[in-house]
């Protein structure tokens, strides 16, 4: 059995990258900051790390900046309205669902994995994951996805509801102080940035890992247990 190819998508600086592995030894070569360390980090996170956690710096910066702005604007708008807690949460739920549709690349960090085998090789460990019955195909295909769960994000916001209400009230007071020159615009923006970072942290905490074995197109897929997935690569 040998790792033949991986495809990584929506991870750090990569929109999509494919790496083909040679039979005996594969070198990753490139200039500084070209992504060599990112590839190794992701492989370790998916195949070795029991928790498989991502950080805010692992998501594409083009999307995190846009998402941070959108989340802040909508939370600010909904929490400034004199609605009940339930109405505010329901309104947030609807908006975040629409927002996810506008940011498809941010909704799923993924890795496609092809594992090849020779005709007489023992494939007992992988037999349950054979989806392509074509005799000319001598590979197994797996997919890892790190996906956003809207329900978890809303739960995170619910748990911090009173704190967010207080923060919105504090922002209103700070804005008055800016207008009266008691504090600078920069001090206000620093507080604003801090809150945006908190929102993005809650957003990231609502991601979940999923493991699949698939056909060679990676479109037809069946869920796998995390332990079984990692056993295939350790």
pTM, entire model: 0.78
Residue 82 CB burial class (10 angstroms; 0-12, 13-18, ≥19): exposed
pLDDT at 105: 44
Per-residue confidence in pLDDT tens, the chain, 234 aa: 788 999 999 888 888 899 998 877 777 777 777 778 888 888 888 888 877 777 777 877 667 777 777 778 888 887 777 778 888 888 877 777 666 555 544 458 899 999 988 877 787 888 888 887 777 778 999 999 988 777 787 888 888 888 888 888 888 888 899 899 999 999 888 988 888 888 877 777 788 889 999 999 999 999 999 989 988 887
45-to-42, 121, 129, 188, 231 alpha-carbon distances in Å? 5, 28, 22, 37, 14
Contact 138, 118 (CB under 8 A): yes
Read off the DSSP letter of residue 59: S
What are the sequence ranges of the domains in the chain?
2-231
Phi/psi at 88 (nearest 5 deg)? -65, -45
Q: Are 155 and 168 in contact (CB under 8 A)?
A: no
At residue 106, the pLDDT reads 46
Q: CA-to-CA distance for 110 and 104, rounded, in angstroms?
A: 12
């Amino acid at each position: 059995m040998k790792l033949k190819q991986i495809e990584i998508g929506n991870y750090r600086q990569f929109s999509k990258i494919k790496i083909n592995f040679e039979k005996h030894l594969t070198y990753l070569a490139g200039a500084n900051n070209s992504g060599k360390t990112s590839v190794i980090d992701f492989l370790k996170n998916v195949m070795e790390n029991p928790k498989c956690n991502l950080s805010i710096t692992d998501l594409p910066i083009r999307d995190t900046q846009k998402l941070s702005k959108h989340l802040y604007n909508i939370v600010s708008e909904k929490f400034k309205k004199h609605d009940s807690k339930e109405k505010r949460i329901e309104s947030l739920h609807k908006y975040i669902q629409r927002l996810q549709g506008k940011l498809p690349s941010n909704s799923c960090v993924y890795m496609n994995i092809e594992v090849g085998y020779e005709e007489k090789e023992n494939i007992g460990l992988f037999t349950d994951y054979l989806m392509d019955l074509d005799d000319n195909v001598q590979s197994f295909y797996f997919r890892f996805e790190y996906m956003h769960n809207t329900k978890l994000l809303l739960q995170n916001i619910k748990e911090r509801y009173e704190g967010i209400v207080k923060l919105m009230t504090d922002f209103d007071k700070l804005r008055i102080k800016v207008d009266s020159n008691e504090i600078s615009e920069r001090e206000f923006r620093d507080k604003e940035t801090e809150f945006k970072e908190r929102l993005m942290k809650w957003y990231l905490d609502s991601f979940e890992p999923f493991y699949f074995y698939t056909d060679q197109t990676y479109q037809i897929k069946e869920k796998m247990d995390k332990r079984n997935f990692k056993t295939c690569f350790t």
